[in-house]
């Protein structure tokens, strides 16, 4: 008797999950990743304007057809903002899938092709923003802030006691912000510093996400044609990379074949993903780009420290007592010579000062 009772209890326990899964629901895809999510793409008053984000499959696993209820909740960072319940207009056939549904069928304020609304309310954008102050200002400005928007859908046979386990569709929003270059070099248009080390270490600041990769672009220019803001995109030649080579972090270094005397302009970009073009294995349609930085590569002998020492020696050879007094007190040139509004550095500056040797010069020292 005890054995029969135990067997009956086990069968009852094992049967409970099967009874609870009389219906099931799944999203495909279940998650998308975006850098920007516009409020207009989530407008329940105009579902036809929404981009197609996901497809919901509802299945009847039982041997009978029936009308069913669909419950949907909208959450942001797991906080429920609004919900609604709908009744199917047509029964779902036994052991069959219901008509494919998209977010346009779910994020709506009114009845749709396949459902009538149960109760009063429905999915409302006003409910979304009024129920969360953090979201309110951002959503009214036209976009969702960083966070995760979730659609949770549960279904059940009309009259059944419990809903199925929820199917969840997540929109992960990670705004990319800006990319700020750190080193080497200076913004294009300023006097390029001279770099003599190899490998050269490239650093930049950017918001890291789970899915954004960075692309480092380096262009090369000959000594006689340093890049300008107007020529950096069209002149010179692509130096790195010859083939696409994404960078996962915010730094890069490698032994690249820099040519002494040449100028190098570099920038960093990352793909921008939106709800219309979420992160996939395909490239993003748009990109976020940094400004250009530029530097000049030199040999160790031509490095800034050596060139300043050479410039100091040439200035000392002019024999001006006022300058020599300053040098004896520890002052040193910064390595830049300005003539008629133009700045010279490196070997050019040294050659200009060397031309003054043996000439009568006047030196004015000021603050």
Continuous segment of H or E residues that includes residue 102: strand 101-102
| pLDDT, the chain, mean | 83
The answer to whether residues 168 and 28 touch, using CB atoms and an 8 Å cutoff, is no
Residues 93 and 238 in one domain: no
Please give the residue that has the higher pLDDT: either 246 or 61: 61
| pLDDT of 16 over the 50 cut | no
Q: Determine, yes or no, domain membership for 123.
A: yes
Res 283: pLDDT: 64
Return the percentage of the chain with pLDDT > 70, whole number.
Answer: 85
Residues 112 and 218 in one domain: no
Quick one: average pLDDT of 42-62?
90
Res 11: pLDDT: 37
Domain boundary (258, 275, 300) is at 300
Res 236: pLDDT: 93
Please give the residue that has the higher pLDDT: either 251 or 319: 251
Domain boundary (151, 173, 195) is at 173
Res 125: pLDDT: 66
Res 284: pLDDT: 64
Q: Determine, yes or no, domain membership for 6.
A: no
| pLDDT of 183 over the 60 cut | yes
Residues 6+ positions from 10 with CB-CB distance below 8 Å? none
Quick one: average pLDDT of 341-350?
73
Q: Determine, yes or no, domain membership for 12.
A: no
Residues 46 and 104 in one domain: yes
Please give the residue that has the higher pLDDT: either 22 or 331: 22
Q: Determine, yes or no, domain membership for 362.
A: no
| pLDDT of 2 over the 50 cut | no
Tens digit of pLDDT for each residue in 137-168?
777 777 888 889 999 999 999 999 999 999 99
Residues 32 and 134 in one domain: yes
Quick one: average pLDDT of 277-300?
82
- In sequence order, the β-bridge partners of residue 137 are none
Please give the residue that has the higher pLDDT: either 313 or 282: 313
Quick one: average pLDDT of 300-324?
70
Distance from the Cα of residue 128 to its chain's centroid: 25
Where on the phi/psi map is residue 287: left (φ > 0), alpha (ψ -120 to 50), or beta? Answer: beta
Q: Determine, yes or no, domain membership for 30.
A: yes
271: containing domain? 180-300
The total of structural domains in the chain comes to 3
Measure the CA–CA gap between 149 and 135, rounded to whole angstroms: 11
3-state secondary structure of 308: helix
Residues 246 and 190 in one domain: yes
| pLDDT of 188 over the 80 cut | yes
Residues 102 and 35 in one domain: yes
Measure the CA–CA gap between 71 and 287, rounded to whole angstroms: 38
The answer to whether residues 308 and 196 touch, using CB atoms and an 8 Å cutoff, is no
Residues 245 and 132 in one domain: no
Tens digit of pLDDT for each residue in 214-251?
999 999 999 989 999 999 999 999 999 988 788 888 99
Q: What is the pTM of this model?
A: 0.66
Residues 146 and 185 in one domain: no
Cis geometry, peptide bond prior to residue 254 (ω within 30 degrees of 0): no
């Amino acid at each position: 008797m005890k054995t029969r009772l135990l067997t009956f209890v086990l069968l009852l326990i094992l049967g409970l999950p099967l009874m609870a899964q009389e219906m099931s629901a799944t999203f495909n895809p279940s998650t998308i990743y975006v850098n920007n999510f516009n409020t207009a793409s989530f407008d329940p008053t105009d579902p036809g304007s929404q981009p197609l984000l996901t497809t919901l499959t509802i299945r009847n696993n039982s041997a009978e057809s029936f009308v069913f209820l669909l419950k949907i909740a909208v959450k942001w960072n797991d906080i429920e903002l609004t919900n609604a319940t709908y009744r199917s207009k047509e029964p779902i056939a036994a052991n069959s899938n219901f008509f494919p549904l998209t977010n346009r069928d779910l994020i709506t304020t009114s009845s749709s092709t396949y459902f009538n609304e149960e109760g009063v309310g429905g999915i409302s954008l006003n409910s979304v923003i009024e129920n969360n102050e953090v979201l309110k200002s951002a959503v009214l400005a036209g976009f969702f802030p960083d966070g995760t928007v979730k659609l949770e859908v549960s279904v059940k046979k009309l009259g059944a006691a419990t809903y199925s386990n929820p199917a969840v569709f997540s929109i992960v929003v990670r705004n990319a912000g800006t990319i700020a270059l750190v080193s080497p070099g200076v913004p294009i248009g300023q006097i390029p510093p001279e770099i003599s080390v190899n490998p050269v270490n490239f650093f930049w600041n950017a918001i890291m996400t789970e899915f954004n990769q960075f692309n480092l672009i380096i262009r090369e220019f000959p000594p006689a044609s340093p890049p300008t803001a107007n020529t950096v995109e069209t002149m010179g030649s692509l130096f790195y990379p010859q083939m696409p080579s994404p960078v996962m972090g915010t730094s890069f270094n490698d032994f690249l074949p820099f040519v002494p005397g040449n100028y190098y302009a570099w920038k960093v970009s990352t793909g921008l993903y939106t709800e219309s073009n979420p992160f996939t294995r395909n490239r993003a349609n748009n990109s976020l780009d940094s400004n250009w930085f530029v530097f000049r590569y030199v040999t160790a002998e031509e490095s800034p420290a050596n060139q300043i020492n050479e410039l100091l020696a040439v200035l000392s050879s002019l024999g001006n007592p006022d300058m020599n007094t300053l040098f004896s007190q520890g002052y040193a040139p910064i390595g830049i010579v300005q003539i008629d509004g133009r700045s010279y550095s490196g070997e050019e500056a040294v050659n200009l000062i060397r031309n003054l040797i043996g000439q009568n010069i006047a030196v004015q020292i000021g603050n």
